[in-house]
A and B are shown apart, each in its own frame.
Chain A
Amino acid sequence: MLSLRFARAASALRTVAAPKPVSRAMRFSAVRFASTRYTTDHEWVTFDGNTNVGTVGITEYAQKALGDVVFVELPGQGSEVAQGDSIGAVESVKAASDIYAPVSGIVDEINEALADQPSLLNKAPESDGWLCKVKLSDPAEFEALLSAEAYKAHCEGE
């Protein structure tokens, strides 16, 4: 019968803050410290400037809204992804949700543990339940993602 349509509000969909010029100081800090940023799609990226690799996952907020995750489809290792591409899906009993690439690059590694234990996405979405690692082709994309504070504000506004 009637559906619980997840209204796809066009305005806020997959918006990413406009890239800002990255200052030398910021580049330097990125090199030294792994830091975490977020998207309005409820994904997180932890970027390690030393290796140029970003680890991607879904947030605690997303796992709560999705419910019991039973299947995760991940991109192939070595595949090239562009920011905003659909690269896989998270399936709960009630729904399938796309995973979008929060940054552009090459998929370096996928979390093989999720094939047998998709529930890791519910138990530890921001640690053991990571989805994939991407070698960034444009680290400036990462810097333009939401800070923890901005993401928190985004969730409260939803």
Chain B
Amino acid sequence: MSIIRPAVRCARVAPSLSALRGFATSRRVAEELKKTPLYDFHVQHKAKMVPFAGWSMPLSYGEVGQITAHKHVRSSAGLFDVSHMLQHQFVGASVQDFLLTLCPSSLDSLSPFSSTLSVLLNESGGIIDDTIITKHSDESFYVVTNAGRATEDKAHISEKLKEWNVANKGQEVEWTTLEDWGLVALQGPKAADVVQTLTDKDLTEIKFGQSAFVELKTGEGEEKVKCHVARGGYTGEDGFEISIPPSSAVALTTRIAAHPDVQLIGLGARDSLRLEAGMCLYGHDLDESVSPVEAGLSWVIGKARRAEDAQPSFPGKSRILAELAKGPSRRRVGFEITGSPAREGCKIFDKSGTQEIGVITSGIPSPTLGKNIAMGYIANGSHKKGTEVLVEVRKKMREAVVKPMPFVPTKYFK
């Protein structure tokens, strides 16, 4: 889901060092950017604030480099402000059926207080956004969508909901977005120990993909605040996403950050962590033309929903069923590149270097593996792991091989 991305397009040569001015410009436009409830907290902790999806967000803190921050999350615990992401609450008698018309997941077979990654689909089966949907009951759902898609998502949901409520009088769905709420992610092998110090609830009862309302100690004393705590995240590590009422956002974040194992982590490391975990970044690895099958997200399409006559249907079903049956024309896969890292926009060629067969959508030198990893779309047929290809970086062909994802094994608490 949402992370940062420096713009390095291979199609165009990389930005020159003079393009570093981007950082300075960002300071000048900071006034127009939205601020999360933790903005002042970040500034106090010497964050380098940058514009991201219309928000002023921390890229990094103090002099801590991206590699150090990244490795801290993999070895200890890192705290991320993800309050810029849009939190939604959907309630009502027909809410489950309504959400089923927006996405292809089997929400009806989801048990209470469990969640799934899903996608909002357009009529052509393209991905409007990727999202985490949590079911609290058949009549209440909590949904988180990307900050950078807030405008599109709100317009889409609002239009669909209006039609739905007209057609389902007496069973209307009520939709609210949690403005000004805090949302923080604590990620890493020590995340559970840290959160456990804040509550008497046994956190081993909450497995990956599950959630609960938990009273967490906040501030400096024994005062508590009820938060939505979801086990999961976007780094591949064990961890939690904690939704905090507006008035307690700073106090709880301060308390978590005060734990000696916790470091504050910015968007820079969030990008490299999610890429190692093989997770998509909307606007780069996903866009409205891409179907979940092409994106390697067929698993979000519920089994029961794949039947021709299954009701309710989901948007773009005919394309998606055809792709499931015959295979899509392109597929998102992982790559390992020899020599230089390959970044977004780099062209992928077959082994002979004559035929262009795909494009890189995200790429970094992996801090954990010390290898250049990337993801991108490649023509069906060349997508199998172990396939040798060439990737063009700065007008030179570099050897690359198709790799399975995640690049770094996930360590979820199951």
A-to-B contact residues, CB < 8 Å: 1-9, 12-14, 39-43, 58, 61-62, 65-68, 70-71, 73, 86, 89-100, 122, 158
Contacts and interface: CB of A to CB of B under 8 A. Distances in A.
Contact of A65 (B23, B51, B341): B23
A4 B18 contact: no
A70 B65 CA distance: 12
Q: Is the interface of B mostly helix, strand, loop or mixed?
A: mixed
Interface stretch (B8-16, B109-117, B305-313): B8-16
A156 B349 CA distance: 43
A93 B267 CA distance: 12
A94 B271 CA distance: 8
Q: How large is the interface on B (under 10, 10 to 19, 20 to 34, 35 or more residues)?
A: 35 or more
Q: Which of A6, A8, A42, A92 has the most CB of B within 10 A?
A: A6
Interface in B1-58: 1-8, 13-26, 50-54
Given A89-B340, A89-B394, A3 B17 contact: no
A4 B365 contact: no
A95 B18 contact: no
B272 interface: yes
B52 A41 contact: no
Contact of B20 (A42, A86, A122): A42
B333 interface: no
A86 B17 contact: no
16 contacts: A1-B53, A2-B283, A6-B6, A13-B19, A66-B20, A70-B67, A70-B341, A71-B340, A71-B372, A90-B17, A91-B341, A93-B67, A97-B17, A97-B20, A98-B16, A122-B65
Contacts of A13: 16, 18-19
A6 B20 contact: yes
Interface in B235-275: 267-268, 271-272
B19 A97 contact: yes
Contact of B367 (A7, A14, A93, A158): A93
Interface string B123-142: 00000000000000000000
B66 interface: yes
Nearest to B20: A65
Nearest to A12: B18
B207 interface: no
B7 A1 contact: no
B173 interface: no
A95 B340 CA distance: 12
A2 B151 CA distance: 13
Contact of B18 (A42, A66, A71): A42
A5 B23 CA distance: 9
Contacts of A5: 6-7, 22
Given A40-B18, A96-B341, A98-B16, A70 B365 contact: yes
B25 A93 contact: no
Given A3-B283, A91-B365, A93-B367, A12 B21 contact: yes
Contacts of B343: 95-96
Nearest to A95: B6
Nearest to A88: B394
Nearest to B22: A6
A94 B69 CA distance: 13
